[in-house]
Each structure stands twice: as structure tokens, then as C-alpha cells.
A = this chain, B = another copy of it.
């Protein structure tokens, strides 16, 4: 679904998803799509793709550090990353997980607000913010798309806040797993009941505002209740979808 721009390849009209299907859609596809809509010349398409750099991010590497100037925006094409904020005394929060198709660059600040760390072998497309600014000015379509995305992320952030503020640990974990399953479903284009967890227990804990121990215990609890199974450490099998949804209070 997402395509890195490693070299100037021809824009293929057929592989472009329909307008408005913004969820699992890589920004890069969006640019391509834009080029189709606006009837750009082949030169212009190539110009767009030339300013993006597709680069690997090895597992464990830090793509950006909190406080640094935001010199680039990114779209993830492979792997998984985490957004981490750390307080002075070591308390940690994982603001979110970034999967293929996600865009990194929606912030009002000109400095990074969190560390961006790869939790798996990853690959991102990088565009300098200045060039992105130009692009946005030139193509209103792009700005509209970004706004759409920002609104979706805002909704998601609010859902997350509700979970943190008012849900019990099992509810939070259920919510998290369902959300992850939904993302993976749109990513792969099919609805499977196996969800892979690229992140560790500690990361889940720091994302849900819990401790690693509580997350672990909650996993066993869900397992004992027959809602999920854990074939491997990093794979969850959803046994009772409806039950999980009910537990998570259904706000999807």
C-alpha cells in the first residue's frame, strides 16, 4: 500500500487508491495521487519524488531526539517506531507507535516534542520541512489531506486520553489491542485475528500509563478469561472479538 521513493520511477495511475480513503494511505501515495489529479507532467512528478529520501532506520536507532529542530517530516514505509517522552526523573511515556503509512510531522512546534526510536528494522521517507512547506503551498490538495489526517489523529489522541483517564487496566489493554488490530487490518487490507506486537511489554506499559508488571498480569488475565491467546510473546490471537470490544467499552 505504501511505496518508498527510491529513485524516479514512473507514476502508475492504477496503483493509486481512491480519494478520501485516508486511513492506511501513505503520504507518498498521496503525493502521487495528487500528481494524477493535478495532471502534472512527468518531470514534475519526478521533482516531487526527488526531494524525498528513502532511508533505512535500524532497530534501536533514534530518528530524532526531543528538543531538536524539526528539519524533516517523515512517512514510514516499513517497520515500527515509538514516540517517547521522558521526564527528568525517568518516568517515561510512549506517546504512540508509528507504523507503515503513518506520517510524522503534524506538530505546531518547530522542535521535536519526543524521541522517535525504531523498535524494528524500519524504513522511512524523509522530506525537508522547508520543501514540504513549498509543496503544501503549491498543492492545496496536500494541505487538505494533512488537515484530514491531523483531525483523525486528534480524535485518536482524545480516545487515548479517555482510556488513560477512566479505563481500568484490562479495559485499556483491550482497547489497545483492538486499535492495533484495526490498524493492522487496514494496513494488510484484511481482517485477521492475529495481531503482532512489535513493541515490548515495557513500551505497552508506558503507552497505557501502567507498569510492565501490571501489563503482564493483565495479559494473563485476558488469556485466562479466554479473550485472547499468546502464541508467541509478540503475537496476540484474538479469540473473542465481541468480548474484547465490550470490555473496551466499544469506543472505536
Spell out A's residues near B (CB within 8 Å): 85, 87-88, 91-93, 95, 106-109, 113-114, 136, 140, 143-144, 146-148, 150-155, 157-158, 160-162, 164-166, 206-209, 249, 251
Q: Do residues A209 and B164 form an inter-chain contact, with CB atoms below 8 A?
A: yes
Q: Do residues B162 and A93 form an inter-chain contact, with CB atoms below 8 A?
A: yes
With a CB–CB cut-off of 8 A, which chain B residues contact A91?
A: 166
State how many copies of this chain the complex holds: 2
Name 7 extra pairs, CB < 8 A, besides A157-B157, A161-B164. A87-B166, A106-B154, A113-B155, A153-B154, A157-B161, A164-B209, A165-B207
Return A115 CB to nearest CB of chain B, in Å.
13
Bound-state CA distance A240–B93 (Å) is: 27
Bound-state CA distance A192–B148 (Å) is: 37
Return A187 CB to nearest CB of chain B, in Å.
18
Return A105 CB to nearest CB of chain B, in Å.
9
Bound-state CA distance A162–B95 (Å) is: 8
7 A–B contacts from the bound complex (CB under 8 Å): A95-B162, A107-B151, A108-B152, A109-B155, A165-B207, A165-B209, A166-B209
With a CB–CB cut-off of 8 A, which chain B residues contact A157?
A: 154, 157-158, 161
Return A5 CB to nearest CB of chain B, in Å.
23
With a CB–CB cut-off of 8 A, which chain B residues contact A108?
A: 148, 151-152, 154-155
Bound-state CA distance A145–B251 (Å) is: 29
With a CB–CB cut-off of 8 A, which chain B residues contact A161?
A: 93, 95, 157, 160-161, 164
Residue of B nearest to A106 (CB): B151
With a CB–CB cut-off of 8 A, which chain B residues contact A147?
A: 143, 146-147, 150
With a CB–CB cut-off of 8 A, which chain B residues contact A114?
A: 158
Q: Do residues B106 and A162 form an inter-chain contact, with CB atoms below 8 A?
A: no
Bound-state CA distance A146–B145 (Å) is: 12
Bound-state CA distance A151–B113 (Å) is: 12
With a CB–CB cut-off of 8 A, which chain B residues contact A148?
A: 108
Bound-state CA distance A106–B148 (Å) is: 9
Bound-state CA distance A140–B142 (Å) is: 11
Bound-state CA distance A155–B93 (Å) is: 14
